[in-house]
Amino acid sequence: GYDFVRQKDVDQFITGMGNSTFIVGHNRWATRGNLTSQNAHPFEHKHICLVHNGTVSKTSDLHHKSLDVDSHMIAVSIADQGIDATKNFLWGAYSLVWYNSEQETLNFLRNKERPMWFIHTQQKAIVFCSEPQMGVWIAERRGFKVDKIEETLTDTLYSFDNTKDCSVPETMPMVPERKTWLPTPYQKPDNVYSIEEKSLLKTLARTYKQGEEFKFSLNDFDEE
């Protein structure tokens, strides 16, 4: 990212954006698909342009034979089926940001596996990022005064409307429209355990004795 923003083309692009309401940047760590330009974010399909932080573990419900990247599959699914239908198939980690050119909205949605923060400034601009300390540093470096730091809620769609008058800072919608879902229902494949079983596994992991054996899935444990 550091090398990228130092390129002359990028500098000319940024300085030439004028009064754009929304600016989105993304750094890809490839977990699915080869390192090609076609597999780089953002992914655009019809009226949806999307970036995705995370990895969807089950892509069979989103599968498109011509696509290699789960993020690309999500963009296609939102464009073709809408976010309500797509969210039912998102198993894994995700923090999504997408622009809907038909509705002229910038949308944010994440689950508990990935972070997303809004850095609200006194100048009515909002910086969004995965790491709040980085967002504050970037905002202050550019001369913005931080007013509030907000972690977005999980399973909650934040939608900023570009059709509203944003010609002056005071009219910038500081609070986006929201839509909240219930958390994705838990499904138990053969190698995944319930919350109660996970608690038991964690206890065993701390207290098991040499020679004792128990089976588990690596996905059942957090970093601890």
For residue 189, the model assigns a pLDDT of: 45
pTM: 0.73
CA proximity to 97, closest of 134, 66, 69, 71: 71
For residue 109, the model assigns a pLDDT of: 95
For residue 49, the model assigns a pLDDT of: 97
Q: Where do we find the tokens 């069979």?
A: 60
For residue 56, the model assigns a pLDDT of: 86
Would you write out the chain's pLDDT as a tens digit for each of its 224 residues?
778 888 999 888 888 887 788 889 887 777 766 778 777 889 999 999 999 999 887 676 776 767 888 999 999 999 999 999 999 888 889 999 999 999 999 999 999 999 999 999 999 889 999 999 999 998 999 899 999 999 999 999 999 988 765 443 333 344 567 787 766 544 444 445 556 666 766 776 677 677 777 666 666 555 55
Between CA 189 and CA 179 the distance in angstroms is 29
Half-sphere exposure of 36 toward its Cβ, with a 13 Å CA cutoff?
8
